Amino acid sequence: MAKTVLVINSGSSSIKYQLVDLETGEGLASGLVEKIGEPVDGHYKHEYNGEKHELEEPIHDHEQGLKRVLGFFDEYGPSLGEAGIVAVGHRVVQGGSIFPDPALVTDKTINQVKDLAVLAPLHNGPEAKGAEVMRALLPEVPQVFVFDSSFFFQLPKAASTYALNKEIADRYHIRRYGAHGTSHEFISSVVPDIVGKPAEGLKQIVLHIGNGASASAEISGKPVETSMGLTPLEGLMMGGRTGDIDPAVVFHLIRNAHMNVDELDALFNKRSGMMGMTGYGDLREVHREIEEGNEDAKLALDVYVHRIVGYIGNYTAQMGGVDVITFTAGVGENDDIVRARVCEKLAPFGVKLDLEKNATRSKEPRIISTPDSSVVIAVIPTNEELAIARKSAAIAEAGEDTYGNKTA
């Protein structure tokens, strides 16, 4: 009988889900719930066996949304009762210092995830709510929290520590936690096989570039650096986030623009980055604007590439070299222009891109550098759902997590 895990990613107004086959690693069914709690009709999409089923209706809360999702499995398939479901895995952005490992969903861990919302206010609350609802809807199936920050909990202290007053940093748990850890861990674990190099001693840089974007460095599969910090705001320029910026900009805007905390939060997290500079969060639109001669779009792409190259240089120096650079996530996997621009900047260091391979669209892992390139350049589709499914299944089959919580 097949073994599957239902992976849930709950956002403030959306839910993404996928039923993962643990043996093949394939997504058997997937879907999306959008516009939860909004005054307009919400939208459901459920895909299975090559068929797409959609529905629009008001969606008042996550409980209503998830009940409808379970109804889609019953109505359109596959039946969860016959799919061999062994766990439900819930992606959580921020586990803080409390959760270096995945954890079973219990009353205690739900409250702890809610408490950690101060570090990820846009994510942790909805993620805790999604787990709470699914636990009630499927009480016989183990529910597991898998934390994006867990992988980077292994960072060296020199990389995870801010040069902030120690008493304040300790009291308010201020350190660099990182994000997208599930993706970075997955990619760095599969790179050795794909490039044909031993994992031991391998120096990697992983570029997870999508609407949210982060870079990481790994030696022998262990993280030594990452670009996101206390929150996902730090680091690379993103779709709506500033990435790195002088903190004194906050003081300047408070004093001179009289902006409050909520306004600054929205400005830095939603109204900046590519969106703030061009009016578009989608790089395809930015490329179109550049072709039409838009100087703002050209500058934005220049800044975008400049930041990526800067992190590559930083991490290469920190590791004492680099063997493989991998592009992943929406932009990393699909935008050959960004990849080419980044690698062009690295050409003086012996990086050579195979232009034909770079321009070829594919969903398969592939090497896009030439055989004589000083660094292997790879494109590998991320699969956070599979990583979450495997971690969740391991805990469900063990019957307990590392914190002593038991499945029954």
Residue 367 counted as an annotated binding residue: no
283 marked as binding residue: yes
Q: Annotation-wise, does 270 bind a ligand? A: no
Q: Is 281 annotated among the ligand-binding residues?
A: no
Whether 212 has a binding-site annotation, put simply, is: yes
Residue type at 330? G
- DSSP per-residue string spanning 282-342: SHHHHHHHHHTT-HHHHHHHHHHHHHHHHHHHHHHHHHTS-SEEEEEHHHHHH-HHHHHHH
331 is in an annotated binding site: yes
Token couple for 174: 């201020």
Nearest by Cα to 301 from 286, 311, 312: 286
Between helices 248-256 and 261-269, what is the axis angle to 10°? 130
Cα torsion 16, 236, 273, 330: sign: negative
- Tokens representing residue 59 in the block: 């969606």
Residue 90 labelled as part of a binding site: no
Which residue's structure tokens are 């597991």? 144
- Cβ-count burial of 85 within 10 angstroms (0-12 exposed, 13-18 middle, 19+ buried)? buried
The reply to whether 333 sits in an annotated binding site is yes
Q: For residue 16, say whether it is annotated as part of any ligand binding site.
A: yes
193 is catalytic: no
Q: How far apart are CA 33 and CA 10, in angstroms?
A: 9
Q: How far apart are CA 174 and CA 161, in angstroms?
A: 8
Which token pair is 368?
Answer: 């896009």
Q: Any known ligand binding at 290?
A: no
- Count of beta carbons in the 10 Å neighbourhood of residue 175: 21
Instruction: Tell whether 245 is in a known binding site.
Output: no
380 is known to lie in a ligand binding site: no
Per the residue annotation, which of 21, 74, 148, 262 is the catalytic one? 148
Residue whose structure tokens are 């022998």: 220
384 is in an annotated binding site: yes
Q: How far is residue 52's CA from residue 62's CA, in Å, rounded to a whole number?
A: 22
- Sheet hosting strand 213-219, strand order edge to edge: 222-226, 213-219, 203-209, 324-328, 376-379, 366-367
- 65 annotated to a ligand binding site: no
Name, in order, each residue with C-beta under 8 angstroms of 50's C-beta and a sequence gap of 6 or more.
Answer: none
Q: Is 209 annotated as a binding residue?
A: yes
Q: Is 264 annotated as a binding residue?
A: no
- Asked whether residue 307 is marked as a ligand-binding residue, the answer is no
- Binding site listing: 9, 16, 91, 208-212, 282-284, 330-334, 384
- What is the set of active-site residues? 148
- Binding site listing for substrate: 91
- Binding site listing for ATP: 16, 208-212, 282-284, 330-334
- Binding site listing for Mg(2+): 9, 384
